[in-house]
Chain A
């Protein structure tokens, strides 16, 4: 059990350790590292949240899993979702790229917008949405193919044939996932020959190869050892320059280390959402305080 002051101290230490500055808002306004994508609103895009969820209710059949969740995810920021088991973190995350479609009998109310575009529209191209909003899972899940084929899978299915383009994309995303040096001589080997941590980074490379806007991560480190976890956390710090990241985690130190904003979910409700430092040091709600100090959950 950690006191709040300890938390704050650790947090700033860790930011220093992984070479990241704590977020400052001037950066928000000037951030243009992600070029505007074709066909979507440009202009003062940078200030507008990438994802805006408003009053989201979610039902598995008759059981309601999310109650009136509203949240803005700013561009090029890392947002962490914390909360006790079963509170609806994964559910909310899956709503953001409509992976919830895979389950029969689900229903969603309210609105979720990606770049100002409603994603729950029935006529929305889910394929396109998922290409823009990638996902990393708790259990790393490379395909039974070579490392190379794993990374370029997303490009291949979107119809890219050119060998050169595929190879370049493969190298770029493996470098981006800090995996290139380890695997560059064995791209033809099966992805299963990598270690667990490497496989998870391979999944990150695979997700970023299609150049998404948002990367969703559902407990990406929970199956990994501390060293691999540290590597992934460092990687998240690097990825936030190019992508917006929403990460679900049970590890509160991790949330405070990697995220700019944190949301606390409890029993399907978003209890509190704010700048990470503030939320961990001066939580407004009593429930949040209880949770982060380990009084329950």
Chain B
């Protein structure tokens, strides 16, 4: 009895399909593990970047000393010695940011309290010590060098805000000027005028020019006034370095900071990441333009791809006569989803930019030719290209979702005197919406991650202005834009200072993943709500 029971159990292990369950379970776990590890690697590398690590001073065997952030450690393969990588900064002094030191060469390691880390607008970080402040533009009644520096620096930073305001004004006037000028060119073009006297500048234009000059010279003055305020620092070796106060973005003394101060600094850096502009060929500063560009791109893409995808899917499933033609179209659509994205990019360049954009320029922007307006890459064309790329996904999802609705539901609605369209809008589309939303999620995720087609349809490493701003007509769909995916490529592989750019690559990748995650989560949340409302019951 016992024996036979055992036999039954063992044969059942295979018989019940246990190995299959285990195999599928293992496959799933492996995939999940890979995804989690990927996100962890990106997150750990990216998020650690903003933490103000302590400044270590090495006194070396040859009598010199350096100061910087300890970045990495390794055992050299050949010699077997321990090596420490130090981020020494001070690019303007040393020419390189990172250096390896053999442990055996380091005689003493210390963490001096008064070591200072400066984040500068140019040349990366500076690590060293404050010597004195020379700020004739600021009234200093402080004797203490440290307090005097802090005071002077804050004061200069406050004054610098007016510079930003002036920049905004300059941009604004420039825009006015451009419009006035193109109006004049239009007139010239229309009436065949060639000389300045026959077509004088309008009062508006002259006025704008005068204002522009005034603001520009005021700005120059301010810059000159601020630039004389400097502070003198020394590096670990004692070399003096004079730095303009206005070039200093952040001042920290990491070795003297408490944990809470560090956390605060960290959050401050995060805010800059989300809201700030990039600096130093994108390796420092914020990512706001790239985030904005990515979101807007996906949004515009959705505007094109979702309605067209749904309409096409509905037509194929509900209206078209199911025959060879429809079947061919269906296969073609499915295949479109597999075309390499660069092909779409080339199509976008040829059709949208040169074709449609060129035609628009010839008709509406004649006066600006040969400078292209719509005839060169821009966010509109890029999102149209991406729309084209993702529309098959939406079509297929719509078709599948409609296909799973029982025929009885359609008949029920039609038998009550509903038209096909009423049935579609009131019953079928709501019921199909969870499936269609799944298509949206896939389409959005794909669009957010695509880089190749963007590179030839309008993405740039640094866009002078956002595609949406306060200048009429507010949305500038023809403008070039920045994008997180391209940012990764650009910072990671096109930057002159690869080692310094590495953290930014991780941060950008993390942000892109998060962005996709947030957008899909919203869609998934909506889908689950609709699923509850619209799922068909079983018997």
Which residues on the B side are within 8 Å of A256 (C-beta)?
Answer: none
- Interchain CB contact under 8 A, A143 and B417: no
Within the complex, the shortest CB–CB distance from B409 to chain A, in Å, comes to 5
- Interchain CB contact under 8 A, A144 and B417: no
Q: How many residues of B contact A (CB 8 A)?
A: 26
Within the complex, the shortest CB–CB distance from B327 to chain A, in Å, comes to 14
Which B-chain residue is minimally distant from A195 (CB atoms)?
Answer: B539
Of the candidates B408, B415, B416, B539, the one whose C-beta lies within 8 Å of that of A196 is B539
Within the complex, the shortest CB–CB distance from B439 to chain A, in Å, comes to 19
Which residues on the A side are within 8 Å of B408 (C-beta)?
Answer: 137, 139, 141
Which residues on the B side are within 8 Å of A180 (C-beta)?
Answer: none
* Bitwise interface map of B from 404 to 417 toward A, beta carbon under 8 Å scored 1, else 0: 00101111111111
Which of A62-70, A127-135, A268-276, A279-287 is the contact stretch? Answer: A127-135
- Interchain CB contact under 8 A, A130 and B411: no
Within the complex, the shortest CB–CB distance from B537 to chain A, in Å, comes to 4
Which B-chain residue is minimally distant from A193 (CB atoms)?
Answer: B537
A99 to B420, CA, bound (A): 12
- Interchain CB contact under 8 A, A128 and B409: no
A196 to B412, CA, bound (A): 16
Which of B208-216, B233-241, B303-311, B424-432 is the contact stretch? Answer: B424-432
- Judged by a CB distance under 8 angstroms, whether A176 is at the interface is no
- Interchain CB contact under 8 A, B426 and A153: yes
Which residues on the B side are within 8 Å of A99 (C-beta)?
Answer: 411, 414-415
Which residues on the A side are within 8 Å of B422 (C-beta)?
Answer: 157
Q: Which of A143-190 contact B (CB under 8 A)?
A: 143-144, 153-154, 156-158, 190
Which residues on the B side are within 8 Å of A192 (C-beta)?
Answer: 535-537
* Bitwise interface map of A from 62 to 101 toward B, beta carbon under 8 Å scored 1, else 0: 0000000000000000000000000000000000010100
- Judged by a CB distance under 8 angstroms, whether A38 is at the interface is no
Q: Which of B79-120 contact A (CB under 8 A)?
A: none
- Judged by a CB distance under 8 angstroms, whether A119 is at the interface is no
A131 to B539, CA, bound (A): 28
Which residues on the A side are within 8 Å of B535 (C-beta)?
Answer: 144, 192
Which residues on the B side are within 8 Å of A207 (C-beta)?
Answer: 415-416
- Interchain CB contact under 8 A, A143 and B418: no
- Interchain CB contact under 8 A, B416 and A206: yes
Which B-chain residue is minimally distant from A190 (CB atoms)?
Answer: B533
Which residues on the A side are within 8 Å of B536 (C-beta)?
Answer: 144, 192
Q: Which of B14-46 contact A (CB under 8 A)?
A: none
- Judged by a CB distance under 8 angstroms, whether A223 is at the interface is yes
Within the complex, the shortest CB–CB distance from B406 to chain A, in Å, comes to 7
- Interchain CB contact under 8 A, B533 and A131: no
Q: Which of B380-424 contact A (CB under 8 A)?
A: 406, 408-419, 422
Which residues on the B side are within 8 Å of A196 (C-beta)?
Answer: 539
- Interchain CB contact under 8 A, A135 and B417: no
- Interchain CB contact under 8 A, A210 and B411: no
Within the complex, the shortest CB–CB distance from B314 to chain A, in Å, comes to 16
- Interchain CB contact under 8 A, A210 and B416: yes
Within the complex, the shortest CB–CB distance from A227 to chain B, in Å, comes to 16
- Interchain CB contact under 8 A, B539 and A134: no
- Judged by a CB distance under 8 angstroms, whether B299 is at the interface is no
- Interchain CB contact under 8 A, A154 and B416: yes
A158 to B430, CA, bound (A): 19
- Interchain CB contact under 8 A, A223 and B539: yes
Which residues on the B side are within 8 Å of A104 (C-beta)?
Answer: 321-322
Which residues on the A side are within 8 Å of B419 (C-beta)?
Answer: 127, 157
- Judged by a CB distance under 8 angstroms, whether A112 is at the interface is no
Within the complex, the shortest CB–CB distance from B339 to chain A, in Å, comes to 32
- Interchain CB contact under 8 A, A153 and B416: yes
- Interchain CB contact under 8 A, B417 and A210: yes
- Judged by a CB distance under 8 angstroms, whether A102 is at the interface is yes
Which A-chain residue is minimally distant from B409 (CB atoms)?
Answer: A141
- Interchain CB contact under 8 A, A97 and B322: no
- Judged by a CB distance under 8 angstroms, whether A203 is at the interface is yes
Within the complex, the shortest CB–CB distance from A213 to chain B, in Å, comes to 13
Within the complex, the shortest CB–CB distance from A223 to chain B, in Å, comes to 7
- Judged by a CB distance under 8 angstroms, whether B534 is at the interface is yes
Q: Which of A246-297 contact B (CB under 8 A)?
A: none
- Interchain CB contact under 8 A, B539 and A128: no
Which A-chain residue is minimally distant from B539 (CB atoms)?
Answer: A196
Which A-chain residue is minimally distant from B536 (CB atoms)?
Answer: A144
Within the complex, the shortest CB–CB distance from A101 to chain B, in Å, comes to 9
Within the complex, the shortest CB–CB distance from A204 to chain B, in Å, comes to 12
Within the complex, the shortest CB–CB distance from B182 to chain A, in Å, comes to 51
- Interchain CB contact under 8 A, A134 and B406: no
Which residues on the A side are within 8 Å of B322 (C-beta)?
Answer: 104
- Interchain CB contact under 8 A, B416 and A134: yes
* Bitwise interface map of B from 257 to 284 toward A, beta carbon under 8 Å scored 1, else 0: 0000000000000000000000000000
Which residues on the B side are within 8 Å of A135 (C-beta)?
Answer: 411, 415
Which A-chain residue is minimally distant from B418 (CB atoms)?
Answer: A157
- Interchain CB contact under 8 A, A143 and B413: yes
Within the complex, the shortest CB–CB distance from A193 to chain B, in Å, comes to 8
Which A-chain residue is minimally distant from B535 (CB atoms)?
Answer: A144
- Interchain CB contact under 8 A, B411 and A137: yes
Which residues on the A side are within 8 Å of B537 (C-beta)?
Answer: 192
Which residues on the A side are within 8 Å of B413 (C-beta)?
Answer: 143, 153
Which residues on the B side are within 8 Å of A131 (C-beta)?
Answer: 416-417
Which residues on the B side are within 8 Å of A203 (C-beta)?
Answer: 412
Of the candidates A102, A128, A137, A141, the one whose C-beta lies within 8 Å of that of B417 is A128
A131 to B406, CA, bound (A): 22
Which B-chain residue is minimally distant from A134 (CB atoms)?
Answer: B415
* Bitwise interface map of B from 505 to 539 toward A, beta carbon under 8 Å scored 1, else 0: 00000000000000000000000000001111101
Which B-chain residue is minimally distant from A135 (CB atoms)?
Answer: B415
A130, A139, A141, A190, most chain B CB atoms within 10 A: A141
Of the candidates A134, A137, A144, A210, the one whose C-beta lies within 8 Å of that of B431 is A144
Of the candidates A97, A157, A223, the one whose C-beta lies within 8 Å of that of B426 is A157
Within the complex, the shortest CB–CB distance from A92 to chain B, in Å, comes to 15
Of the candidates B411, B418, B426, the one whose C-beta lies within 8 Å of that of A141 is B411
- Interchain CB contact under 8 A, A143 and B414: no
Which residues on the B side are within 8 Å of A143 (C-beta)?
Answer: 409, 412-413, 427
A158 to B417, CA, bound (A): 8
A134 to B414, CA, bound (A): 10
Within the complex, the shortest CB–CB distance from A282 to chain B, in Å, comes to 36
Contact (A130, B417) CB under 8 Å given A143-B412, A196-B539: yes
Within the complex, the shortest CB–CB distance from B485 to chain A, in Å, comes to 39
A127 to B409, CA, bound (A): 17
A72 to B411, CA, bound (A): 25
Which residues on the A side are within 8 Å of B409 (C-beta)?
Answer: 141, 143
- Interchain CB contact under 8 A, B416 and A157: yes
Which residues on the A side are within 8 Å of B534 (C-beta)?
Answer: 144
- Interchain CB contact under 8 A, A144 and B416: no
A141 to B410, CA, bound (A): 9
A156 to B539, CA, bound (A): 27
Which B-chain residue is minimally distant from A158 (CB atoms)?
Answer: B417
Q: Which of A200-222 contact B (CB under 8 A)?
A: 203, 206-207, 210
Which B-chain residue is minimally distant from A132 (CB atoms)?
Answer: B417
Which B-chain residue is minimally distant from A104 (CB atoms)?
Answer: B321
**Apart from A128-B417, A207-B415: 9 A-B pairs, beta carbons within 8 A:** A99-B411, A104-B322, A131-B416, A135-B415, A144-B533, A153-B413, A154-B417, A190-B533, A192-B537
16 contacts between A and B (CB under 8 A): A102-B411, A104-B322, A127-B418, A128-B417, A130-B415, A131-B417, A134-B415, A135-B415, A137-B415, A139-B408, A144-B431, A156-B426, A196-B539, A207-B415, A210-B416, A210-B417
Closest 10 CB pairs of A and B: A192-B537, A131-B417, A141-B408, A135-B415, A154-B416, A141-B412, A144-B534, A130-B417, A157-B418, A157-B422
